[in-house]
Structure 1
Amino acid sequence: MDPPGITPIFLALTSGRPAKVQKKMAFQAVCVAFGVIAVFGVVGQQILDYLHVSTQALMIAGGLLLLLVALDLLTGKTDEPKQTKDVNVALVPLGMPLLAGPGAIVQVILAVQHASAAEQVSVWAAILAIHVVLFLAMRFSLLIIRVIKDGGVVLVTRLAGMMLSAIAVQQIVNGVTQIIRGG
């Protein structure tokens, strides 16, 4: 989870919407991310075991999904389809997989599994704190739009797509490397 890094992606995915809607989307995205992280923190390993999915496979799948989102940002296809203009991007891709992505899910599963009873409080406090910081980063990123205008949003969108594609590829590489190493 990367509060400064989500700013350009949030701006790119919510551009063209009224500020009030963008603020609502920031809150919704954080709520979705927190819900996903909380569920996986509590029963994540059981879900993966039931589905016979390894954490490495989750990382690779998430990387591929992020790559698709990144390619849309790079090519500008997020603006083209009219039927998706009303889709709430706060849920997908912002809430999941950008905020509550496979990397965050895997880390939360591992942190909760390896924490003692006393450390559980710290783990959950950290999870709550990062979500508050994510909301504040997205909420106040709307001030940036006033400065960069529409041309800047297009530039930020392409830059976000490029950076997101690099993150996606790295996530795929990490998953494949872990599979090759056997763990």
Structure 2
Amino acid sequence: MASAAAPEIEVGDITKMEVTAIVNAANERLAPGGGVCGAIFRAAGAGLIDECQAYDGCPTGEARITGGYNLPAAWIIHAVGPVWHGGDEGEPELLANCYRNALALAAEYRMESIAFPAISTGIFGYPPEEAAKVAAAACREHAAANEYPKRILLVAFDEAQAEPLRRALGDWA
């Protein structure tokens, strides 16, 4: 089996990415929130709220899939990251599971491409440098063992957010 490509770093607005799926840094209620989550709900439109309500939530570390509605992406994968409590309450494993579960859904649906925001680094308070290491490791692990998605994008809103990702990926990217 051919493996997926190495993750790429993209600077821009995830709601405008022309990929098969974007990942929403979701909350456990799968409800509109602030930051990336709020931007995705606003860009996708009202139908997204109705579809998310049918799930009755999503536990931290897990992922759910919905349609993309008004987004360029056909799908939205909602991954619930952990709130940062200092790193001793299982946060690294829960965050890694967000990436693993989102990538597993992308592989199951044979998606060509997926774009991730920096999950948990906003209002959930996860340190960006540590979150980038977890994201890079989970993406590497998936890409080495799976054919899909063929393209994995780690999307940074700006250059400052991209730097920890560049350091985490290092020579591998």
Query: Whose strand proportion is higher, 1 or 2?
Result: 2
Structure having greater relative contact order (Cα 8 Å, sep ≥ 6): 1
Task: Please identify which structure carries the higher helix content.
Answer: 1
TM-score past 0.5 threshold: no
* TM-score class normalised by the smaller sequence: under 0.3
Q: Which has the larger radius of gyration?
A: 1
Q: Provide TM-score, normalisation by structure 2.
A: 0.27
- TM-score, scaled to structure 1: 0.26
